[in-house]
Structure 1
């Protein structure tokens, strides 16, 4: 169930209403790619700093085994062939020209929420659009796993304009359908992480977009460690100001954490501070996990236009 208060529509991107998704609002971000390519001081330039495009040095794709030659990297020696032939042999890798960029997009119930400008899920779709166009602009392939909370939809990495358009069509269809449906029991985030582990080609750039409400700090850490062995992983967390107790509403409202439901009064400062404290505690846990696994971590508000936020990060 989503909540949406009165907003200033002039702050929304063209064609956007903050709740449903349209192709027009996602195509809008194609015009923004030039502004946010490095060396722009933006969130994307920070994300892109982890992302090595087009020329990746020694690629992840195995090509052949040949006899060792002076100057070859001894770390690439194929010890099995060396032992069998009695002569040192080395593995040769061919350079990757297109790197897969895989998005994991969490459209679970908690993401279908917004108290001010737009739903968290809509803001995430805007971020996915910008990343998609930037990836294609850098000659990379874009793919995704869409998680509705109950079902997963995978889109194989595809290059050029076909990649983003294929993603947007499925994204819009799924998002607008789930706004009118309710799932009693959602799958854990680990289901999506397992799918990433199974479907992502080695050497992928994986960007996990979620509010991480369904994240299990014990089980999912194991899956993230496995993903990190052969891929670059990054976290982008989406949040709403109401989750921090930041609201002008002073009435009583029914709230839920996905497990328990209760009535909460927003009229008392103490209750609003409890909300903020609980949110910050969970956010710190996620940030700490990311630091322990060397995973870059960013957070995005649903109450501020995306372009304004990424422009203001890293001043």
Structure 2
């Protein structure tokens, strides 16, 4: 493990285990609940919890009472491709690494099961579910050291494989740059899905650079071109259109999401996403 990664892990562990105490026990809490009992409706109860079948039989409104599951199954799926090998402040792969560590340490702190998954074209590799820090560190190191050049993040087949493989209802984080079209409709029916979008500001707001030599990190293809005002405008329009389609899809299927840029602090953005829970 190199010095940079060791420093990152120390910083992340301090953030998760030390900085947030008292009434903030975990970065996330479960959406899964176990049925406990039925009782007669009281003023102030959530009407969505009314059991209409029992209400009709007894001619009085009854509500279902649930208790929250103690143990969550937290799955972090990193969509690994050559496009992550880019960044002006630091490369996106490093940010994905840090996010994986934050979520892993948070799961361990909360006593939840953590499963790390890497998804590339033609390959979905999964760690065993764990509650141990050393296993989280091992997965984080794999994400950090993976050679991405020449690889493509296959969102279509990768998400399909995740649906087949993850049987138990989970809190599923899909982490990637989401520059390719995605369809998480099926996943969102079985799991609570959260999209973590990692971007570099330059790829969303590029500036004219004149004559440039471009290399596609996924295919290795090269291109000599003039990247001027007109090219920037066309490129920017494609990015905006792609993101609009992505946000529509996420909203339609009630998938929460957060966008983290390479010059931002991932921990702060994740805390904000979960309303201050760490």
153, 161, 179: which is aligned to 1:213?
179
1:52 and 2:35 matched = no
TM-aligned CA distance change 1:167 to 1:189, over 3 Å: same
Could you report, residue by residue, the CA deviation over 1:130-155 in whole angstroms, capped at 9, with x for unpaired residues? 11111211111111210233422111
1:26 and 2:13 matched = no
How many residue pairs get matched? 250
TM-aligned CA distance change 1:289 to 1:249, over 3 Å: same
Shift of 1:215: 3.1
Shift of 1:169: 3.9
- Aligned twin of 1:299: 259
Shift of 1:118: 1.1
TM-score of the aligned structures, taking structure 1 as reference length:
0.65
- DSSP 3-state at the match of 2:71: coil
TM-aligned CA distance change 1:27 to 1:215, over 3 Å: farther
Could you report, residue by residue, the CA deviation over 1:156-200 in whole angstroms, capped at 9, with x for unpaired residues? 221142441242243344x2xx15x524xx463122212321232
Aligned residue runs from structure 1 range 94-109, under 5 A: 96-109=69-82
Maintained 8 Å contact 1:234/1:295: yes
TM-aligned CA distance change 1:215 to 1:37, over 3 Å: farther
Aligned residue runs from structure 1 range 262-281, under 5 A: 262-266=223-227, 268-281=228-241
- Aligned twin of 1:155: 127
213, 218, 229: which is aligned to 1:253?
213
Could you report, residue by residue, the CA deviation over 1:217-245 in whole angstroms, capped at 9, with x for unpaired residues? xxxx3xx2222222100111111222123
TM-aligned CA distance change 1:256 to 1:289, over 3 Å: same
- DSSP 3-state at the match of 2:127: strand
Q: Aligned partners of 1:76, 1:169: CA distance in 2, in Å? A: 52
115, 118, 141: which is aligned to 1:146?
118
Question: Any stretches of 5+ residues in structure 1 without a counterpart?
Answer: 1-13, 17-21, 60-68, 78-92
176, 179, 182: which is aligned to 2:150?
182
Maintained 8 Å contact 1:290/1:296: yes
- DSSP 3-state at the match of 1:235: strand
- Aligned twin of 2:44: none
Q: Aligned partners of 1:149, 1:37: CA distance in 2, in Å? A: 40
- Aligned twin of 1:226: 186
Q: Aligned partners of 1:168, 1:123: CA distance in 2, in Å? A: 11
- Aligned twin of 1:199: 165
Maintained 8 Å contact 1:58/1:94: yes
- DSSP 3-state at the match of 1:158: coil
Shift of 1:109: 1.2
TM-score of the aligned structures, taking structure 2 as reference length:
0.73
Q: RMSD value over aligned CA atoms?
A: 3.8
Question: Any stretches of 5+ residues in structure 2 without a counterpart?
Answer: 41-49, 55-65
